[in-house]
Amino acid sequence: MSPSLSAQNLTTLGGLLLVLAILVPFAGMLIGFVFGGGNAQRVALATLAAGLAIAIAIANALAQSGKAVVYILGGWMPPLGVALRADGLSVVMLLTVAVVICGIGVYARADFGTPSGVKEARAPLIFWLLLLAVWGSLNLVFVSGDLFTLYVALELLTFAAVPLVSLDGRTETVRSALRYLLYALLGSVLYLLGAVLLYGAYGTLDIPLLAARVRPEPAAWAALALMIAGLLAKTALFPLHLWLPPAHAGAPAAASAVLSGLVIKGSWFLAMRLWFDVFADVVTLPAAQTLAALGAAAILVGNVVALRQTRLKLLIAYSTVAQIGYLFLMFPLATGLATAGLDSAMAVNGGMLQAISHATAKAAMFMAAGLVYTTLGHDRVADLRGVASALPMTVLAFALAGASLIGLPPSGGFLAKWLLISVAITTAQWWWALVMLVGGLLTSVYVFIVVVRTLAPAHVGWNPKTTVPRYQQAAVLALALCSFLLGAAVLCPVDVTQIGRTVSRNTVLP
Amino acid sequence: MKASDLLIATAVGAPLAMLLACLSPAIRKRMPTLLGFAPIPALAAALLADGTPLMFGNAQFEFSFAMDKPGAILLTVAAILWIAAGAYATTWLRNTDNAGGLVVCWLMTLTGCVGVFLAADIVGFYFLLAVLSVGASGLVLQGGTLKALRASAVYLGVALLAEAFLLAGLVMLALVMPHGSLLIRDAAAAISTSPWRDLTLGLLVVGLGIKAGLVPLHFWMPLAYDAAPIPASAVMSGAVVKASALALIRFLPFDAALPDFGLPLAAIGFFGAFYGVAIGVTQSEPKVVLAYSSVSQMGFLVAVIGMGLAVGNADAALAASFYAAHHLLAKGALFLAVGVVATTGRHRLWLVLLPAAVLALGIGGLPLTGGALAKLAVKPVLGDGLAGLLADLSAIGTTMLMFHFLSRLAASTASIPSTSAPVGFALPWLLMFVAAIAVPWKSYPLTGIGIGSYAFQPEILWAASWPILIGIVPMLVLWRWGRHLPQMPEGDLMTVGERAMRKVITWGYGLERAEGLLRRWPVATLMLLALAVFLGRMLIDWR
């Protein structure tokens, strides 16, 4: 074992925090389940606060040490034991998820409070428990150090996410949930197949060990292709998105925010992890171009189809289909840089920023759509008049989130675009820059349509169906602001995402 | 912090602070009375600030603002226009119950406008330009009509299209900047030596050209200026559109002669100068006529910049700034005049029409007006060749268009002959009239382009007069037979664009159906397997 590898197998200061990041949400879920009823919500909210604090502590540990945070379970060295590792990429995702989940938690208090006089209601109970389960599994995805734990994490994530689709129990939503489940399972099968192949060929599933052992040979090719395809199915990259629009549009607003903002990022993150950290010596530019080509198709088709939607939630769901596309443009850009012997950090940072800004913006958008629905009693895009006067903060939030999706400065979307376009030009892949610019224009059309429609004055004598609590609007606005001001990340003194990356980035031969 | 830094910071900060204060509904209600005060710090900065840049940020990234000479010239006059139009808007808003929208968009546009004039780094410039575009499209929306909605959508769409070109250009520029600098003052030198010089220049010129209203992407201008409320049209046609001209002046490398870029740019500019006149004379709405005059004048301005670039004339920057400054004042004043005339009865009409005539013909270069000075300033850049001839011809055309405007203006009086415009309209207009006459005379020697007395020489007077005299002839023809001219739809080429748009929507339908097909189970499952196989294949092929 090389010295650099052994250094990655020592529990570091703060390593225990990684265990907490996984345990606390799941423990909260179990406690909530035991006490049940209205207590589930109280436990969940307390867990949210604790989890946010843990995420911040992990980030602090990473920033202080300047190295990845590692925890070796039971002191057993990989490949026998299991390691938890959080490098810069993981920590950034941990933090993002914590912030978004907390925002959603605040928002969901109004929609999923257990009504007074009832001891226990199904939808609220399930929602709060699953919210914690999703969080725990996402954290596990971000910090797992071996491919089998990651498989378990992915399965947990899927099984926690699917019931969120059908919380209301209507036949229609149960159908979309099943659709989601079946397709995600297909993806799991492919992923597992790939993992088995790798284990057979290299005798380990530990990420640093595997990264040192994989060679460009048939077993690695087949494994990577299977695993990536499976993950794409779970991420709903076009044309594998059959399940996404009905599932994300049919779920209750808070659940849609979880699904669209966070859940799909889990499998995307894993794909990225495999591509850059495990198979850095195996990946090729043409394969990366294939991923980005699908991404480009997603951006164009998703945006145009979003434009043609008549319901706000479906419009936002198709916007997610398009935004997923952006997440895959980074693959050929980073691979292109690595092939040229350059540091791929710029492309990876661009992709991460895109993911974070989409997570916050899309969660805000779905929650805004939920408030619109509560106020109007429908979410037909053609008839949103009066919304701006009834929900000024919500419309502002929608506009800011929209600006981030379009990529207007100072949003995170803008910074991401700037970085990715820079790389596209440096690596002479200008067509990806073109796709990003066209995608931004298409996005602006539907954001404009929705915002302008909400600005129209209401009919005389119209009154909101339900008055929305102020804190719900504030939660939506806070998340939208996170996304809109994320461009300030440029002021960050150190390149946080690159701390403790397990694989040196210049290993690919020209 | 030095005094100069403080001046620049408050110039941008004051409108921004007022904008943020609008989050409180109580303050938002009072804000209309303060609109005229928001640009005062900008005026102070333009007059007093020196060239030292104001930086804030950290070692990773720094925003910087600075005052250069073109910026100072344009910011001075822009601030005057914003003050006058702000006062006008205060009165205008008294009659509306929902002032919030306009106030917010107004302050946003003002922040963006002052910010773009002062921004000294690429990212800050792009950011503030986006603020400016979004704010201005909001201003157009405040017209409140269906027409305004369409105009606002077109405005925003075109602005974002332009910014997409610009973003690509700026990223390419940033990649070649020395030592990772992002300062605009290093841009011109970096472009000249860039391996992607032609593409960078092309993207920047196209992006800024669209924002400057170059034909054939000018159609947003008449739509927007017609649909927006009068004070908004005044600041947009005057100040907002100059942001792109200023950016062209700052980014283009005037040190090296680049005829490959300069000449086509000048040609497109001149084409726009005549095209604007040709379409303008077929219009009957005074605001639309003014808008087409803006298309024409911005075309001319870009032609000046293009000629400067073609021959590598470094003086072109200052000359073009001066020309832009005069147009800013005159056009802003004329838009306010449209509003004043609309509230003035026939009896007092001449009180407005006479000064308006001086300003309008001034744009054509009427001797002893600021316009004559502006023409004089750009003359050395254009030279005596073909460009000089085209400039004279365009002066003739502008004169004709301005006569047409005046006649349309005279026909748009209030219905009751004895009405007079409210003081809150008349005073800002008067201020703008005085500024449009006095400021060019005052600043002409200060800019170092020439001395004022030169403009009184007989041959100079004659050179400025004959295009005006000739312009009277087609004007008379137009008055006699003008009815027979074909009526161009407002926003001429836009109709073509809309037809194309409908095509795209039909394609969208096809795309939607194809997407529905892809979401069928058998198709999606096959796709998944095919993708796995294809990816595997792609991984093998390469080595």
Nearest chain A CA: its distance from B502 CA (Å): 13
Q: pLDDT over 70 for what percent of chain A?
A: 96
pLDDT, mean of residues B307-327: 90
- Separation CA B237–CA B337 (nearest Å): 14
- Separation CA A323–CA A346 (nearest Å): 19
Nearest to B303 by CA among B222, B209, B220: B209
- Separation CA B332–CA B534 (nearest Å): 61
Which residues are CB-contacts of A241 (< 8 A; sequence separation ≥ 6)?
A298, A302, A321, A324, B519
Nearest chain A CA: its distance from B528 CA (Å): 7
Give the residue numbers spanning the domain of A390: 284-510
Is the pLDDT confidence value at A399 over 70?
Answer: yes
Answer yes or no: do B141 and A233 touch at CB < 8 A. Answer: no
pLDDT, mean of residues B206-233: 90
Nearest CB partner across the interface for B542, out of A285, A438, A440: A285
Q: Which residues are bridge partners to B64 per DSSP?
A: B55
Q: What is the pLDDT of residues A207-220, one digit of tens each?
A: 888 998 998 888 99
pLDDT at B482: 67
pLDDT at B452: 67
pLDDT, mean of residues A361-387: 92
Contact B313, B350 (CB under 8 A): no
Is the pLDDT confidence value at B429 over 50?
Answer: yes
Q: What is the pLDDT of residues B470-528, one digit of tens each?
A: 877 777 777 777 666 777 777 667 777 777 777 777 888 888 888 888 888 889 899 99
Of A90-99, A176-185, B489-498, the one with minimum mean pLDDT is: B489-498
Residue A348 lies in a domain: yes
Nearest CB partner across the interface for A408, out of B101, B130, B175: B130
- Separation CA B50–CA B31 (nearest Å): 31
pLDDT at A508: 36
Angle formed by the axes of helices A264-273 and A345-376, to 10°? Answer: 170
Task: Tell me how many domains chain A contains.
Answer: 1
Is the pLDDT confidence value at B373 over 60?
Answer: yes
Q: How confident is the model at residue B85 (pLDDT cuts 50, 70, 90)?
A: very high
Report the half-sphere exposure of A264 (CA within 13 A, side-chain side). Answer: 35
pLDDT, mean of residues A224-231: 95
Q: How confident is the model at residue A3 (pLDDT cuts 50, 70, 90)?
A: very low
pLDDT at A505: 41
Answer yes or no: do A284 and B541 touch at CB < 8 A. Answer: yes
Answer yes or no: do A239 and B527 touch at CB < 8 A. Answer: yes
Q: What is the pLDDT of residues A417-461, one digit of tens each?
A: 999 999 999 999 999 999 999 999 999 999 999 998 998 888 888
Answer yes or no: do A490 and B533 touch at CB < 8 A. Answer: no
Residue B445, SS3 per DSSP: helix
Is the pLDDT confidence value at B529 over 50?
Answer: yes
pLDDT at B491: 66
Q: Which residue of A has its CA nearest to B128?
A: A409
Q: What ranges in B194-315 are assigned the alpha helix state H?
A: 197-211, 220-227, 230-235, 242-251, 259-280, 286-311
Q: How confident is the model at residue B295 (pLDDT cuts 50, 70, 90)?
A: very high
Ordered DSSP codes for A101-166 = HHHHHHHHHHHSPPPTT-S--HHHHHHHHHHHHHHHHHHHHHHB-BHHHHHHHHHHHHHHHHHHHT
Could you say which DSSP state residue B344 is in? S
Residue A41 lies in a domain: no
Q: Does the beta carbon of A436 lie under 8 angstroms from any beta carbon of chain B?
A: no
pLDDT, mean of residues A49-58: 94
B276 backbone φψ class: left, alpha, beta (φ>0; ψ -120 to 50): alpha
Nearest to A228 by CA among A260, A257, A198: A198
Greater confidence, B459 or A418? A418
Ordered DSSP codes for A43-96 = HHHHHHHHHHHHHHHHHHHHHHHSS-EEEEGGGPPTTTS-EEEE-HHHHHHHHH
Chain-centroid distance, C-alpha B495? 22
Chain A partners within 8 Å of B536 (Cβ): 221-222, 224-226
> Where are any strands of DSSP class E within B108-168?
none
Q: How confident is the model at residue A507 (pLDDT cuts 50, 70, 90)?
A: very low
Residue A447 lies in a domain: yes
Residue A370 lies in a domain: yes
Q: What is the pLDDT of residues A311-332, one digit of tens each?
A: 999 999 999 999 999 999 999 9
pLDDT, mean of residues B240-263: 89
Answer yes or no: do B167 and A285 touch at CB < 8 A. Answer: no
Q: What are the two backbone dihedrals, phi and then psi, of residue A71, each rounded to the nearest 5 degrees?
A: -135, 125
pLDDT at B448: 67
Q: How, if at all, do strands A83-86 and A69-72 pair?
A: antiparallel
Is the pLDDT confidence value at A2 over 80?
Answer: no
Q: Does the beta carbon of A187 lie under 8 angstroms from any beta carbon of chain B?
A: yes
Chain B partners within 8 Å of A304 (Cβ): 507-508, 511-512
Q: pLDDT over 90 for what percent of chain A?
A: 62
pLDDT, mean of residues A18-28: 93
Q: How confident is the model at residue A494 (pLDDT cuts 50, 70, 90)?
A: confident
Q: How confident is the model at residue A302 (pLDDT cuts 50, 70, 90)?
A: very high
Q: What are the two backbone dihedrals, phi and then psi, of residue A86, each rounded to the nearest 5 degrees?
A: -125, 105
Tell me how far CA of residue A185 lies from CA of B301, B311, B373, in angstroms.
63, 67, 76
Is the pLDDT confidence value at B543 over 70?
Answer: no
Q: Which residue of B has its CA nearest to A232?
A: B528
Of A271-285, B55-69, B343-357, the one with minimum mean pLDDT is: B55-69
Tokens at residue B400, please? 């004709």
Residue A262 lies in a domain: no
Contact B490, B289 (CB under 8 A): no
pLDDT, mean of residues A284-307: 93
Is the pLDDT confidence value at A509 over 50?
Answer: no
Is the pLDDT confidence value at B1 over 80?
Answer: no
Q: Which residue of A has its CA nearest to B517?
A: A242
Nearest chain A CA: its distance from B414 CA (Å): 29
Q: How confident is the model at residue A192 (pLDDT cuts 50, 70, 90)?
A: very high
Residue A143 lies in a domain: no
Q: What is the pLDDT of residues B126-145, one digit of tens each?
A: 999 999 999 999 999 988 88
Q: How confident is the model at residue B284 (pLDDT cuts 50, 70, 90)?
A: confident
pLDDT at B256: 81
Q: What is the pLDDT of residues B445-457, one digit of tens each?
A: 776 666 667 767 7
Chain-centroid distance, C-alpha B14? 22
Q: pLDDT over 70 for what percent of chain B?
A: 96
Q: Does the beta carbon of A304 lie under 8 angstroms from any beta carbon of chain B?
A: yes
- Separation CA B180–CA B439 (nearest Å): 39
Is the alpha carbon torsion for B406, B411, B417, B419 positive or negative?
A: negative
Chain-centroid distance, C-alpha A479? 14
Contact B286, B409 (CB under 8 A): yes
Q: What is the pLDDT of residues B146-204, one digit of tens each?
A: 888 889 989 999 999 999 999 999 999 998 888 878 888 888 888 888 888 889 999 99
Chain B partners within 8 Å of A433 (Cβ): 168, 171
Q: Select from A175, A178, A240 the residue whose CB has the most chain B CBs within 10 Å, as the one to mutate to test that interface.
A: A240
pLDDT at A343: 85
Answer yes or no: do B167 and A492 touch at CB < 8 A. Answer: no
Nearest chain A CA: its distance from B448 CA (Å): 37
pTM listed for this prediction: 0.92
Q: How confident is the model at residue B417 (pLDDT cuts 50, 70, 90)?
A: confident
Chain A partners within 8 Å of B156 (Cβ): 444, 448
Chain A partners within 8 Å of B514 (Cβ): 301
Q: Which residue of A has its CA nearest to B529?
A: A229
